[in-house]
Structure 1
């Protein structure tokens, strides 16, 4: 039976690392935000439960709705590296979109959704919304009933959702919510991976150019992608070999030019 690849994304503070630990049934991921940009674009966790095996990739999401050039290039480099890795290792089987219930930054939530689901995976990977921070609600599902229309307003379309708490070691009156949350998350992960006949999605030829064109639709700051600046950032800030940086800078500029229909 094949190992399924699950990509977990969402902004910092949404509880992604805690969701990894919830699924695993043990402390695999540090719950402090210790990932650094470029040098650590994601963390990979092997997880097994109910006789099935998974690899969960905890990724860095977008944090600011108004990106500067550095954030823009981070998103490109991180996405390119992840897709290249997973294209060789079975593709992507499932997206888990982690959002803290009651989050005020819905523009950032929408940007992360568009980046990963619409543009990174071209709407071809099942996506499950994982709503965290509901340990104060005895009936956690009630939150979704009262707030579903907000996600509809921001055009966030999902295949499924789950309302949970990923906060472990709660007092006795709430610990049952944690155990219930584990059961619910594992059930949905299995349903949308091992219970599906389709293979994992792969980017394939032409994916990167399509992705860079789409990424220009994000609300970014006023910047011009100059060839020399792009290469400098990729080599000095992201540690990319110069030859690779030159080629990637060329692809980024070509994709951006086609996406904006203006010269840079």
Structure 2
């Protein structure tokens, strides 16, 4: 039986680690708030449920507008490295986009969505929106009914959604919601991995590869798109701060042409 690769992404504080524990049925991931941004990399959690095996990869997502540029770049590069690793090792079966439900939908959800679904996975991997923090709702699904338009506004297209609580050890009146949440998210994961005839996505041109190729062509003078135009795409389409866009362009150029560092 093949192991399905699931990539979990979203802002710090969205409850990604708690979602890992919810799916696994045990405390696998550390959920302490003191662990926020302690490491800018991804973590793998092997688990099995409903007769199937999964590897769930918890990532560092893009944060709010005040994130330091170096941290922002680390998040992008680590996401790229994970996607390329999985593409080279059998493919990606599912994206889980974790968002904490609240009164307002933060604008950073669009940047995270575009980075993982659009730019890195070319819209070829099914994506499920996981809405957390709904333990106070009598009917968790009601939140989606009242806020769906906000996601449409940000042009976030998904293959499914689930409204849950990932907060364990609740009091008796809410504990049943935790068990219900585990059933709901496991069901969706199974339906969009093992019940999906297309199989895993095994890579394509990819945003980061296209980006690197364009920078190489710019460097050799074989491409007409100006460096400034690429930075505009990164800032306006990816929501990347301009300083980060400039730095990422420079970093990729240096990786592609290490001998030319002294002359650039």
**8 Å Cα contact 2:40-2:75 kept in structure 1:** no
Corresponding residue for residue 147 of structure 2: 147
Matches within 5 A, 1:31-42: 31-33=31-33, 34=35, 36=37, 40-42=40-42
Give RMSD over aligned pairs: 2.7
Aligned partners of 1:227, 1:92: CA distance in 2, in Å? 25
Cα distance change, pair 120–66 in 1 and its aligned pair in 2 (3 A): farther
Corresponding residue for residue 120 of structure 1: 120
Corresponding residue for residue 191 of structure 1: 191
Q: TM-score, normalised by structure 2?
A: 0.80
Cα distance change, pair 249–200 in 1 and its aligned pair in 2 (3 A): farther
> Which deviates further from its counterpart, 158-167 or 74-83?
74-83
Corresponding residue for residue 56 of structure 2: 56
Cα distance change, pair 105–248 in 1 and its aligned pair in 2 (3 A): farther
Shift of 1:88: 2.3
Matched, 1:208 2:228: no
Shift of 1:79: 2.4
Shift of 1:85: 1.2
Q: Where in structure 1 are there 5+ consecutive unaligned residues? A: 232-244, 251-263
**8 Å Cα contact 1:138-1:177 kept in structure 2:** no
SS in 1 for 2:128: strand
Higher relative contact order (CA 8 A, sep 6+): 1
Corresponding residue for residue 237 of structure 1: none
Corresponding residue for residue 167 of structure 1: 167
**8 Å Cα contact 2:10-2:99 kept in structure 1:** yes
Q: Identify which of 190, 215, 225 aligns with 2:246.
A: 225
**8 Å Cα contact 2:20-2:56 kept in structure 1:** yes
Cα distance change, pair 196–228 in 1 and its aligned pair in 2 (3 A): closer
Cα distance change, pair 149–67 in 1 and its aligned pair in 2 (3 A): same
Shift of 1:17: 0.3
Q: Where in structure 2 are there 5+ consecutive unaligned residues? A: 213-229, 259-263
Shift of 1:90: 1.3
Cα distance change, pair 226–2 in 1 and its aligned pair in 2 (3 A): closer
Corresponding residue for residue 260 of structure 1: none
Shift of 1:56: 0.2
**8 Å Cα contact 1:43-1:57 kept in structure 2:** yes
Corresponding residue for residue 255 of structure 2: 247
**8 Å Cα contact 1:65-1:220 kept in structure 2:** no
| 1:187-241 CA distance string (max 9 Å, x none) | 000000011112211234565332566645333334373699738xxxxxxxxxx
Cα distance change, pair 249–222 in 1 and its aligned pair in 2 (3 A): farther
Cα distance change, pair 227–41 in 1 and its aligned pair in 2 (3 A): closer
Corresponding residue for residue 84 of structure 1: 84
Cα distance change, pair 208–154 in 1 and its aligned pair in 2 (3 A): closer
| 1:72-114 CA distance string (max 9 Å, x none) | 5324321221122102221110000000111645211111111
**8 Å Cα contact 2:62-2:72 kept in structure 1:** no
**8 Å Cα contact 2:98-2:132 kept in structure 1:** yes
